[in-house]
Amino acid sequence: MGTHARFLFCWLCLQVIFATVLSDVWKAEVVSELKTLVSSCVVLPCKLQYPGKQLPDSRIRGIWHQQAKHDQRIYHEDSTEIADSFKGRTRLLGHLGEKNCTLEIDEVKNHDNGPFCFRAEIPSIDKYSFVESCVALSMMSAPEKPKLEQMKTLEDGVPATFKCSIRHTCPSHPPTITWSRSNSEATLSNRDILHGNWEVESLLIFIPTEKFDFTDLNCTVSFHGGLQSSVSSLIHVKRKANFLHIIISVVAVLGTSLLFGGVCYIICKKYRRQTQDLQSRNASVIWSRMSRMSQRFRKSPRSGEDEPDHKVPWNHRRNETDPHMATKYNYY
């Protein structure tokens, strides 16, 4: 192989190598699809890689456009280049010098479906549209219901914890959460759960009492844009063990038992006395009857005392009873 041919072969190899390297450097990382709430906002996370050393924001121009129509720009640093339906509703949240191309779309409309793609331009160096990495939006006309978690058992006077949470895609204007217990302490937090989704949660701590038993606890979520969603839970409060109540109950039971026992004792004693009186009276009556009967038996002929007179003829009795008749009989 001649010198010229060898030089040409090396030049072609270098071109292939540099072309491969340069094509790998231009890169954008986005989420392919996001669910978003109409009337709220949505943040499209985006990371950028470009060739060469890191440049300041002023040296890089960032553009977001429709995938099918590059001239339909939804964001441009020159507001006159933005489509009328997106004017005043989009802004770049990231810093391009830090390779962050994150975009916010506010007041989401039901026709903001996309897909949307990012384009980077480095004046006098290069420009690139990442049409192979675009974001599509899935619209929700109504918000989802929040998730309410609570302790299984609530006791009177014991602090209880409740957690209300909701997923969203608007970290620049996160939802707010309010509770129906206004005098209770609640803490709010907003965390990234990856892939463009965020979760805001509120932890409520309050001390339940008997008056909260069988009442509703409400958690209301207010979204950026005005929509709301709420969830409620019925509270059951277990009464706290009170030794005073137990002592009072025991004393009441013992007092009732003693009172009932005393009444029964008095009634039984009175009944026994009456029974003894009746028995003594019956015994005296029987004894008197038996004594009278014994006296009668003592006066009978068998005893030889107080025997009645023998029967005499009638005429003898007449003589004995009528002295005049006796005299008369003597004259004859």
* 126, burial (CB in 10 Å: exposed 0-12, middle 13-18, buried 19+): middle
> Which pLDDT score is estimated for 81?
93
HSE of 112 in the Cβ direction (CA atoms, 13 Å)? 29
Q: Are 269 and 186 in contact (CB under 8 A)?
A: no
- Residue 169: per-residue pLDDT: 96
Nearest to residue 63, comparing CAs of 74, 48, 79? Answer: 74
- The reported pLDDT for the residue numbered 324 is 46
What separation in angstroms does the CA of 140 have from each of 40, 109, 326? 10, 10, 155
* Residues 119 and 81 sit within 8 Å (Cβ to Cβ): no
- The candidate with the shortest Cα–Cα distance to 66, out of 56, 76, 58, is 76
What single-letter amino acid sits at 295? Answer: Q
- Rounded CA-CA distance 188/165 in Å is 10
Name the phi and psi angles at 80, rounded to 5. -70, -15
Residue 330 confidence (pLDDT): 42
Look-up of token digits 């004995």 = 320
CA torsion 154→156→160→164, rounded to 10°? 60
Contact 34, 47 (CB under 8 A): no
Task: Please give the single-letter amino acid code of residue 64.
Answer: W
Q: Are 106 and 225 in contact (CB under 8 A)?
A: no
Residue with tokens 């978003």: 36
Which SS3 state, helix, strand or coil, does residue 114 take? Answer: coil
Quote the pLDDT of residue 3. 59
pTM summary value: 0.64
DSSP 162-191: EEEEEEES-TTS--EEEES-TTSEEEEEEE
The span from the CA of 61 to the CA of 49, in Å, is 13
Residues forming beta bridges with residue 163, ordered by sequence position:
149, 203
C-alpha 140: how far from its chain's center? Answer: 28
pLDDT reported for residue 208: 84
Query: Is omega for the bond preceding 171 within 30 degrees of 0, making it cis?
Result: no
Give the per-residue SS3 of 120-151. EEECCCEEEEEEEEEEEEEEECCCCCCEEEEC
pLDDT attached to residue 9: 53
Tens digit of pLDDT at every position of the chain (332 positions): 565 556 455 554 544 444 444 445 788 999 999 999 999 999 999 999 888 888 888 899 999 999 988 889 999 999 999 999 999 999 999 899 899 999 999 999 999 998 999 999 988 778 889 999 999 999 999 999 999 998 877 888 888 889 999 999 999 999 999 999 865 678 999 999 999 999 999 999 888 888 888 888 999 999 999 999 999 988 888 876 655 556 777 777 887 888 877 788 788 877 777 777 776 766 666 667 667 666 666 665 544 444 444 444 544 444 444 444 444 444 43
Distances 265 to 15, 105, 131, 141, 275 between C-alpha atoms, Å:
119, 90, 102, 81, 15
